Amino acid sequence: MAESVQPPGPDKRIRPFSVKRQTGFTTVAIICFVALYAPILTLVVFSFNAGESIANWGGFSWRWYEAAWANEQVKEVSVRSLVIASCASAIATGLATMAALGTTRTRPYRGLTAVFVVINQPLMVPEIVSAVALLIFFAMIKIATGYTGLGYLIAAHTAFCIPFAYLPIRARLESMDLTLETAAADLYATPWKAFRRVTLPLLWPGILAGAMLAFVISLDDVVITEFVKSAGQDTLPTYMLGQLRRNVTPEMNAISTAFLALSIGLVTIFFFLSRRRK
């Protein structure tokens, strides 16, 4: 097929004409991939540095991993991060799935645009503004109720995770028309049955992608957590941000590398899971 679309005129090209080729794009793409990974690899390499410095290589050692492992505070904040991310992404994905079902595959109804605006609002409002808003609002509730638990962080994370979970689910739903559900209804399936046996299995990749996105967004969050957390509620990112103010030792690299390994491990599992489902 590719050869049949030769451009007119004398063709001096040696390689066959490809519709898809654009000059220089591959080079830029390769540069991008290298640039994306080089800093991260540097960080990982120096986490094994035996020396005190994060710049001069002093030989291989596990000492900074041992230091981080022995650090009770690091363990505590890591567990807290995972708890918040799990709760927030689970709730957000559930709510986002419902919202996606409620906003797609329908003739526009009154208020639909407003619904889109509210759902996507955390994407449009800068994170720092949301953080300030939540700081003020939760400060009022804290005074009124006296409750200072993790609930605030989970609620805040759930809210900003909703649009991230919503977008891939909605995209998936929009590519599915109602033919199959109609067929199921023709075959006397109840709406619930049609949903469970037809819609949900088809929607599953979208839901999974949404949940992935929500989980990682929650785990990644620094700004909102930094403003909303009560004393002693540091998550791993806010703990690290605090450490960056002080003298940075390769222990930070070790913690970062472990965090990276967790994220990459997770994304790899999801990658192969979602592949198998196809």
Query: Binders of another protein among 134-153, rule CB under 8 A?
Result: 134-137, 139-140
Phi, then psi, of 60 in degrees rounded to 5: -85, 140
Binding of residue 234 to another protein (CB under 8 A):
no
For the chain, count helices (H), then strands (E). 12, 0
Residue selected from 145, 186, 231, 232 as contacting another protein according to rule CB under 8 A: 186
**Is 202 one of the binding residues for another protein (CB under 8 A)?**
yes
**Cα distances (angstroms) measured from residue 18 to each of 6, 7, 28, 30, 151:** 9, 10, 18, 19, 56
**Is 244 buried (19+), middle (13-18) or exposed (0-12) by CB count in 10 A?**
exposed
Task: Kindly state the tokens that stand for 93.
Answer: 């994905």
180 scored as a contact of another protein (CB under 8 A): yes
Instruction: Compute the least distance from the CB of residue 62 to another protein, in Å.
Output: 20
Contact flag: residue 34 with another protein (CB under 8 A) = no
Name the one range near another protein by CB under 8 A: 3-11, 59-67, 71-79: 3-11
Percentage helix, strand, coil for the chain under 3-state DSSP, each rounded to 5: 75, 0, 25
Q: Tell me the closest approach of the beta carbon of residue 146 to another protein, in angstroms.
A: 17
**158, 169, 218, 254: residue in contact with another protein (rule CB under 8 A):** 158
Q: Which stretch binds another protein (CB under 8 A): 1-9, 63-71, 72-80?
A: 1-9
* Residue 47 binds another protein (CB under 8 A): no
H-helix or E-strand containing 124?
Answer: helix 112-124
Q: Does 113 bind another protein (CB under 8 A)?
A: yes
Q: Which residue, among 61, 259, 239, 35, has the nearest Cα to 53 in the 3D structure?
A: 61
**Closest C-alpha among 26, 28, 30, 34 to residue 18:** 26
> Which among 47-55, 58-66, 67-75 is the span making contact with another protein, rule CB under 8 A?
47-55
Question: Under the criterion CB under 8 A, does residue 36 sit at the interface with another protein?
Answer: yes
The minimum distance between CB 8 and another protein, in angstroms, equals 7
In the complex, the smallest distance separating the C-beta of residue 48 from another protein, rounded to whole angstroms, is 14
To another protein, the closest distance from the beta carbon of 276 in angstroms equals: 9
How crowded is residue 99: how many other Cβ atoms within 10 Å of its Cβ? 20
Instruction: With contacts defined by CB under 8 A, name the span among 20-28, 59-67, 72-80 that binds another protein.
Output: 20-28
DSSP 15-45: SPP-TT--TTHHHHHHHHHHHHHHHHHHHHH
- Under rule CB under 8 A, residue 67 binds another protein: no
In whole angstroms, the minimum distance from the beta carbon of 20 to another protein comes to 4
Q: Does 230 bind another protein (CB under 8 A)?
A: no
Residue in the structure block whose two tokens are 């407003």: 114
Residue 82 lies near another protein (rule: CB under 8 A) = no
